[in-house]
Structures are given as C-alpha cells and as structure tokens.
A = this chain, B = another copy of it.
C-alpha cells in the first residue's frame, strides 16, 4: 500500500492496483508488442459514416438539435429507451425458441457504457462483506468493481454450458448453513460468449438460474438478484443466442439485463443500458443522480436515430461478418501453432471476442511469470493472464490460462501473434 493513500477513503484504497491499469501500462511501455490482450474493438469496423449521418440527422433541425445538446434526464433519453425496449422485445421474439417477455422504456436506464451500470448496481447492493456469486472464470473488470465496494466474491465452477447450477445451489445451501445467506445480494453471469471463455449459458440453465434465484430469495427473505451481462449478445457468428435470462423472469422482479453499444457499434459513444426491476431502477437513478445526473444526452439521441432508422441492425450484421473472419483466423492459427503442444487446449467460441486457452497446470501465465515476461519482452506479444478472471481467494485461482482477444488485430496480425505466443509457450513445455 502506497503511504500517500492514508489520506484517502477506504473506497480509494480498494480501487488501487487494478489489473486493467497494469495492462494498459504494459501497452504504453511496449508500443511494438502485438496485443492479443486488449478488449478494444476492430478499428476498421467502426461506423464513421453511420455516425456522421446520425449526427447530421439529429442536428439537422434546430429544435431537435438543441434538445440533443441540452441536459437530458438521469434515466436517459425517452426515445432511446423506447427503441431499446422494442429492440429487446423483438430479439426475444426472434430467438430460438421464441420468448415473449415484453420490455418497456420505464424499466431501462441508460449509462456510460454498461460498465457504469455494473458499477452503479454494485454501489446500490453491496455493503462491505456482502456476497456476489460468480462463475470461475468471469469478467475480470467486474471483479475489480466488486473489490472496489468491499464485496466478497465466491467463484463457482462452470463447464461448457456455463455456470453449473448444482454448484450454485450447493453454495447457497452452504452459505445458509453458515448463517451467511443474508449477505448474498447478487448472482452475476455473462450469459453470451463469456469474457473470458467465450462460453454461453445454456438455454436450460437460463430458466433454472431464475428459478434458483427466486427460490433462494424466498428462503433469504429478501431478493437475490441475477445480473445478466449481455455485452457480447450481438456478436454471434454461428447462430443467434437463445432467449435471455431476463426473458425467464416473467414477474420482472429478479433479473437485471445489462447491454451496450460498445462492442456492436462504437465504444467511443459510450452508451450502455440496463433493464431492471423497479426498485433497482430507482436505486440506480438516485446514485447516478449524484454521480453525473445523466450520461451524454447527445450520444443517446444519436443511438436513438441509429436504432430507429435500422442502420444499427445493418451495421451489427457487418460487424459480425468482420469478427467471424477474425475468430476463424485465430482458431486456424491456434490449430497451426498449438495443436502439437501437449496439454494445451482452447475453447472454440461461437461469438464474442475471446479465445480461452489452457496450458499444462505447471505453466503459470501471470504478470510475474517467466511466460508473460518472455512473451512481452522477447516474443513481443501480449495476452491477459487467466488468473485475473477468478474471484474468491487468491490461492484458489487457476494460473495456467490465457485470454486471447481477436478484437483488435487483423487476420494476419492474429496469425503472427499466435505464432509468437506459441514460441513463448514452447520454451516452457
């Protein structure tokens, strides 16, 4: 702990030393390193033309332009929320099998990326020591957010169908026996193409998850919410995802569905959103009122225009096509350079931005490991160490995985990155 932190709050101390800062620092200090780490999106896919057209339309007419440049509301621009509600309803209806929960604008809050929604929900729910159940592994930045509010995370096993339901029930049972059920506030799942594994929660488990949360809410005497992080929902390359976890919560009192335009359209506009039960919407609104009283209104007008005109859907299709090629390029390179390495395996993702690679148990991949130093300093390639993605006690984290992103590099860059990485790995086999 840095001495100079003594004059700061507990919150500030909890926010220190986040892995993401170290990763970004590595990027700055090693500009020539080929990054398979960064979760940035493909630059060539960014919608420059669509953005200028939307800006032109929003600003073409004086009164509408002025309204986009004025303060908005904390909850978010009504037209955008209406379009989002329609879009959400339509996606559920056209999923296989079709679901029929109807979304309404009033249950939606617009945020600065879905990250802000995750942070606001953590702020709303967790006092220090409260518990969040997560999959092992899961989205490491959210683990940082939970740490930042002093929450405890319990990491539960997952398999190729996502979080394991009997493990979830077993843990809830264990916590009840230990007298800690009252501290359980939230179950967090990345339902589509999880960051980092690329695995989606199976259709069957989606319904089960909602059931379990409701049953155990009753036993707890207060709600245990489910936060469904659907950041990668649009990025499907083989088949559209099944109905959301949210669609199974027909009473609308258990599931928060977090979405974003950062991956499917543009992270620079920083527009995310969430659908949630009323008391959470009020909580998020109140906290956001203090935090910024509303994300950029102009950007919400742009997205409303893009959704309303259908240009967003067209662009999302193009994005899928571009990433499909890159996903295939990374998997082909994995076959080419890693297939003959004993004990090395990886997940074939059907969407998202990541390939999760597992090395033999004795090869550790962390920032301090010989492999990471070799990869960055000698082979000039970077990845995200898998251990960052495990909640719970540090000593229980698995240390032999790598999260590899195909978001940023070209297909050629991906092949070269995978070649370099295989060179580094070979040295330690």
A186 to chain B, nearest CB (A): 11
Q: How far, in Å, is A11 (CB) from chain B's closest CB?
A: 5
Asked if A125 is at the interface (CB within 8 A of a chain B CB), the reply is yes
Distance to closest chain B CB from A80 (angstroms): 13
Verify B9–A123 contact, CB threshold 8 A: yes
Q: This chain: how many copies in the complex?
A: 2
Main secondary structure of the interface of A (DSSP, over half): helix
Task: Tell yes or no: A283 within 8 A of B by CB.
Answer: yes
Instruction: Pick the residue among B9, B267, B291, B301 that contacts A291 (CB under 8 A).
Output: B291
Using a CB–CB cutoff of 8 Å, the interface residues on chain A facing chain B are: 4, 6-12, 15-16, 18, 20-21, 24, 40-41, 43-44, 46-48, 51-52, 55-56, 59, 62, 65-73, 111-113, 115-116, 119, 123-127, 130, 141, 144-145, 148-149, 185, 222-223, 262, 266-270, 279, 283, 285-287, 289-299, 301
* Residue from B16, B223, B296 within 8 A of A270 (CB atoms): B296
Which single member of B65, B72, B279 contacts A48 (CB below 8 Å)? B65
Q: Counting chain B CB atoms within 10 Å of each CB, which of A6, A24, A73, A290 scores highest?
A: A290
Assess whether B115 is in contact with A71, with CB atoms less than 8 Å apart: no
B residues less than 8 Å from A123 (CB atoms): 9, 11-12
Known contacts A55-B59, A125-B9, A296-B112; A46 and B65 CB within 8 A of each other? yes
10 CB contacts below 8 A, A to B, read A6-B222, A9-B123, A15-B290, A21-B289, A41-B70, A48-B69, A113-B293, A148-B287, A270-B295, A298-B299
Which B residues touch A10, using CB under 8 A? Answer: 127
* Cβ contact within 8 Å between B291 and A18: no
- The minimal Cβ–Cβ distance linking A409 to chain B, given in whole angstroms, is 14
**Given A11-B287, A115-B293, A123-B12: A47 touches B69 (CB 8 Å cut-off):** yes
**Chain B residue at smallest Cβ distance from A54:** B55
Whether the Cβ atoms of B286 and A21 lie closer than 8 Å is yes
Provide the residues of chain B in CB contact with A286, threshold 8 Å. Answer: 12, 15-16, 18, 21
Are A290 and B12 within 8 A (Cβ)?
A: no
A270 engages B287 (CB within 8 Å): no
Given that A11-B123, A55-B55 are known contacts, is A297 also in contact with B270, CB under 8 Å in the complex? yes
List, in ascending order, chain B residues with CB within 8 A of A125's CB.
Answer: 7-9, 12
Contact residues in B for A71 (Cβ distance below 8 Å): 40-41, 262, 267-268
B290 touches A148 (CB 8 A): yes
Q: Bound complex: CA of A197 vs CA of B15, how far in Å? A: 36
A398 to B113, CA, bound (A): 41
A43: contacting residue among B70, B115, B145, CB under 8 A: B70
Min C-beta distance of A188 to chain B, whole Å: 15
Q: Which residues of B contact A289 (CB under 8 A)?
A: 15, 18, 20-21, 144
Q: Which residues of B contact A222 (CB under 8 A)?
A: 6-7
Complex CA distance for A122 and B16, rounded to whole angstroms:
16
Q: Give CA–CA (A299, B223) in the complex, Å.
A: 38
Residues of B contacting A43 in the complex (Cβ-Cβ under 8 angstroms): 66-67, 70
Q: Are the CB atoms of A268 and B48 closer together than 8 Å?
A: no
Nearest chain B residue, comparing its CB with the CB of A10:
B127
CA distance A142 to B388 in the complex (A): 36
CB <8 Å contact, A119 and B66: no
Q: A59 CB to closest chain B CB, in angstroms?
A: 4
A270 touches B291 (CB 8 A): no
A92 to chain B, nearest CB (A): 27
Residue of chain B at shortest CB distance from A300:
B268
In whole angstroms, what is the CA distance A56 to B223 when docked?
48
Q: Which residues of B contact A51 (CB under 8 A)?
A: 55, 59, 65, 69, 298
**Nearest CB of B to A60, in Å:** 8
Q: A47-B69, A71-B262 are in contact. List 9 more A-B contacts (CB 8 A).
A: A11-B124, A16-B286, A24-B73, A41-B70, A46-B65, A48-B66, A52-B59, A70-B268, A268-B301
